[in-house]
Amino acid sequence: MAWRHTGRARVNPRAPSAFGVCQGCGFWYNLDNLAYQFEWRGPRLMNTRKRVCPKCLDKPFIFNRPIVIPPDPVPRMDPRPENFAALDQGTYPLPPLPWPVQPVGPVNPSAPAPPQFAVPQVEPYLPPALPPPFVPPAIESEP
Ligand SMILES: [Zn+2]
């Protein structure tokens, strides 16, 4: 009786099974033993439709997966950040605000009057004067 080469596939005449060629090494295997190769495509795994044997089956390369940075935290309402610019200039405590601040709560008539802050005067913007127009020198024509 002649025996046919079947590679790494097993033959069972009582339970026949399909053969398949591994797309990694080229050996014959039972098709049930070949697995699909998956790979990272964007943020999820995708089937590359390659059927490979267990020896050729690769773990999906994790560095093909993009890094998804979580969103920024939700900002708080009415924050009170430190004025680091004033701290760096050594003008701490902070200078008064350039706008009047309304007192909170009932007004005490015996309290001193709130200070009046002067709004800084800013010079109005004037566009710079244009330079005089260019006048080409006269070309002397030969007699
Ligand atoms: Zn293989």
Q: How far is the CA of 36 from the centre of ligand 1 (A)?
A: 11
> In whole angstroms, what is the distance from residue 10 CA to residue 84 CA?
75
In this prediction, residue 99 carries a pLDDT of 72
Pairing between strand 28-30 and 35-41? unpaired
Residue 37 alpha carbon to ligand 1 centre in Å: 11
What was the pLDDT predicted at 119?
A: 73
CA distance 124 to 110: 41
Ligand 1 center to 125 CA (angstroms) = 77
Portion of the chain with pLDDT greater than 70, in percent: 90
pLDDT at 131: 87
- pLDDT average, residue stretch 10-27: 94
Q: Is it the case that residue 56 has pLDDT exceeding 90?
A: yes
Q: How much is the pLDDT for 80?
A: 86
Contact yes or no for 53/67 (Cβ under 8 A): no
CA of 55 to the centre of ligand 1 (A): 6
Q: Which one has a higher pLDDT value, 134 or 37?
A: 37
Residue with the bigger pLDDT between 82 and 103: it is 82
Could you tell me the distance, in angstroms and rounded to a whole number, from the CA of residue 44 to the centre of ligand 1? Answer: 24
Cis peptide before 98 (omega within 30 of 0): no
**Continuous segment of H or E residues that includes residue 27:** none
Largest CA distance in the chain: 120
Q: Give the model's pLDDT for residue 1.
A: 62
Q: How far is the CA of 47 from the centre of ligand 1 (A)?
A: 17
Reading the block at residue 4, the tokens are: 């046919």
Kind and range of the H or E run holding 47: strand 44-52
Q: Tell me the β-bridge partners of 44.
A: 41
Share of the chain above pLDDT 90, in %: 46
